[in-house]
Structure 1
Amino acid sequence: MMLEHGGRLNKAAERWGIPRAQWLDLSTGINPIGWPVPEIPAALWQRLPEAGDGLEATVLQWSGAPSSAGCVPVPGSQAAIMALPRLRKPCRVGIPVPGYREHGFNWREAGHKVVPIGPRQTCGGAPGCDDRWLDQLDVMVWINPNNPTGEIIPPSTLLRWHRRLQKRGGWLIVDEAFMDATPAFSVAHQAGAPGLIVLRSLGKFFGLAGVRAGFVLADAAVASSLQSALGPWSLSGPARYVMHKALSDYNWQRQTLHRLRRDSDRLRSMLQKVGFTLVGGSPLFQTVWAGQAQAVAEGFARNGLLVRYFEQPEMLRFGLPASNRDWERLERAMMQLG
């Protein structure tokens, strides 16, 4: 069985009888104005990818991780989400609910006991929260910012969780797929500590989901085991090239961060104006409660506008439009729902 995700445009086009090119896809939370990929040297298509191209050093510098941290380039963080559960014997794994469901799915598929972790246990990362709930776990996965709620747990809290888990040989895995737009909350600067594993990707902030490129920061032992599990040439030469160039383009990153924050404010205001109740969000998406959320999502779909519907609990997630024309189209669709 495979889980469903946003961005299933072909399926939407078939169901609603609207050609793919006529859709406005706001279902993914991917930056709609991605990093401009340059021409890729022809030799990279002709040779197997090789280490020693400087990518790992670039990743460590960009992320703020120490030079002692292990760095494993991966074909999207999804590859790590699938591989990491197979690096441990069956154990008890905490998974945030709601959250990106691939985490729980893959730990369960690998024979682990998945323990749902909700806001009651974490207290939203508030100081003084009782952390004894961690003692029932061997591994804790946290998504920071959470997808789809946008909740952020402060790094100080995550590192406190890590210390408690690591005393018993446990892991804290922090999925930072949406972190690039809020880098102050990353725990990458502590990567390399035993039992702390950080996942990052080019898919969201850089808008390069199709290249399937990301990296894992971990201690040397976990990094070595993960590399062995993935096998040789797990990340293509062109993907390594694109990642190296994108992470090195600090001017584009600064300009994009400013634009995303501005556009996210605009989207949040628009959603509130038409009566949606905000759950939370990030600079890349906003999530709302909606009465009869599925019917609302289908109402948008009839107008060729794809948003992400979540069943439990019922929520809708909206990504960012790319152009003034798209913003106007979204506003018209919202007004028609009223």
Structure 2
Amino acid sequence: MAHGGNLATARARYGIPADGWIDLSTGINPHAYPLPDLPQALWTALPQADNTTALTEAAARAYGVPNPATLVPAPGTQALIQRLPRILGSDHAAVIGPTYGEYTPAWKAAGAVVTEASEIDAALDALSGAARPALILCNPNNPDGRTTDPARLIALADRLATAGGTLVVDEAFADVAPDISVGPWGSRPGLVVLRSFGKFFGLAGVRLGFAVCPPALAHEMSCDLGPWAVSGPALAVGRTALADDAWQTAMRVRLSQEAERLQTLLSQAGFKVVGGTPLYVLVQSVEAPAWHDRLARAGIWVRAFPERSELLRFGLPADRDGWHRLSATLGVSLPATAG
């Protein structure tokens, strides 16, 4: 499965050492939340229940979830993605794509028939008559940034619930667009909402994610994850960052401005901007494979899509040097406000 952030592949292919790369291949915020000083005990002792409770309460507040008991912390949303098919027991799942590639194999591994559809109506047609059907979509979607109105998602979850099914909404990038989140309604029957901590806060290595779902399902998922699912340091970092409203507000403004700069830069280079979020820009070009190679030879790694060779996804440069190196490789002037 191809993913962004695969610098080991880049190093092996192009012979450039690790410190020679600018990694723009992920949608991870390059301006990471400043890590707090952590007590030594968080590293040496087992995670404590009161710290888990504190994290869950902070996450519930940040995501607008009324009842913290409906929120399950996990060591990254990937752990939840792989458990959900088995726990839900769906015999047929439909994935709205193209999107994050791990959903289809996860449901297939659990024995479900999987249909990949480009639109919700086509997905519903494919699920007609299925026992405990599951419909999965990302909002905003990765890689094109497509969004679906929350009211439609809630109605869709209600419709699936009447058939014993579930709508899974992956909100990995919803921190940059909180108004589209259905997290506040995550306790409704037929709805599971996944939230990723690491992307917006720029701390993917912390491995922290959450599911919002009805209480009985939340309890089952917690039991399946087992005790001490989230490390002590991750509990502390997550709690602190999720409670920092001022940082989050300022970061949303900064990311929106930088994404606009990146779109301008890529348009000047001849790319057609076809989607994105404040954390990444998706572009199209018939010369995309050649551009991917040219950028890589300059030590700039962007996300390519083997199944859609005309597409490239660019994350945000981390600093002024990164902006200048990208603009120089693209052969265009850096927008005045960038860097």
* TM-score band w.r.t. shorter chain: over 0.9
For the 8 Å contact 1:134–1:164, the answer to whether it is kept is no
CA distance in 2, matches of 1:76, 1:252: 22
For the 8 Å contact 2:33–2:202, the answer to whether it is kept is yes
CA distance in 2, matches of 1:156, 1:275: 37
Aligned pair count?
Answer: 327
User: Where does residue 87 of structure 2 map in the other structure?
Assistant: 87
CA distance in 2, matches of 1:168, 1:116: 20
Cα displacement string for residues 244-266 of structure 1 (whole angstroms, at most 9, x for unaligned residues): 00001111111111100000000
For the 8 Å contact 1:69–1:191, the answer to whether it is kept is no
1:10 to partner: Cα distance: 2.2
CA distance in 2, matches of 1:311, 1:10: 18
Cα displacement string for residues 178-211 of structure 1 (whole angstroms, at most 9, x for unaligned residues): 1100000000110111121111111111001001
User: Where does residue 104 of structure 1 map in the other structure?
Assistant: 104
User: Where does residue 329 of structure 2 map in the other structure?
Assistant: 333
Letter in 2 for 1:135: S
1:271 is aligned, of 266, 272, 278, to 266
Superposed, 1:152-301 pairs within 5 Å as 152-301=147-296
Cα displacement string for residues 20-74 of structure 1 (whole angstroms, at most 9, x for unaligned residues): 1011110001100110011111111121112222111111111101116511110
User: Where does residue 308 of structure 2 map in the other structure?
Assistant: 313
1:14 to partner: Cα distance: 2.0
The sequence identity of aligned pairs, in percent, is 42
User: Where does residue 17 of structure 1 map in the other structure?
Assistant: 15
CA distance in 2, matches of 1:166, 1:87: 16
User: Where does residue 29 of structure 2 map in the other structure?
Assistant: 31
Letter in 2 for 1:160: A
Give secondary structure in 2 for the equivalent of 1:279.
strand
CA distance in 2, matches of 1:332, 1:177: 31
For the 8 Å contact 2:97–2:137, the answer to whether it is kept is no
Q: 1:86 to 1:120 in 2, by over 3 A?
A: closer
5+ residue gaps, structure 2:
333-339
Larger displacement relative to structure 2 (188-197 or 47-56)? 47-56
5+ residue gaps, structure 1:
123-129
CA distance in 1, matches of 2:120, 2:72: 34
User: Where does residue 335 of structure 2 map in the other structure?
Assistant: none
1:271 to partner: Cα distance: 1.1
Superposed, 1:70-81 pairs within 5 Å as 70-81=70-81
For the 8 Å contact 1:272–1:278, the answer to whether it is kept is yes
1:295 to partner: Cα distance: 2.5
Runs of 4+ in 1 over 3 A off after TM superposition: 119-122, 130-137
1:66 to 2:66 alignment: yes
Q: Give me the TM-score of the superposition, normalised by structure 2.
A: 0.92
